[in-house]
Amino acid sequence: MSQQANVTKENDVWVLRIEKDNGKQQEYRCATENQARQLAMILSRPDSGGPPRQPAGPR
């Protein structure tokens, strides 16, 4: 599953839009371009297909 990421600057806010395979679009707003680009890199990675990780136990 690959997703297309688009980073733009709108009204002094960096906007990340991820287009999903099903045609829907997810939008994130970031304070800096670096934050938006790093988030885009993480969110646009294909799914590894591995099982979901268990939540951390209580501390």
Q: What is the pLDDT along the chain (59 residues), one digit of tens a residue?
A: 456 789 999 999 999 998 887 888 999 999 999 999 999 988 877 766 777 777 777 87
Sign of CA dihedral 54, 2, 23, 18: positive
* Residue 7 confidence (pLDDT): 94
- Per-residue pLDDT at 1: 44
pLDDT of 2: 54
Residue 8: its pLDDT value, please? 94
Query: Whose CA is closest to 16, among 34, 30, 2?
Result: 30
Contact (Cβ atoms closer than 8 angstroms) between residue 41 and residue 22: no
pTM exceeds 0.85: no
Alpha carbons 59 and 51: distance in angstroms, whole number? 24
Q: Which residue, chain included where needed, has tokens 């999903």?
A: 20
- What pLDDT does residue 57 have? 77
Domain residue spans of the chain: 3-42
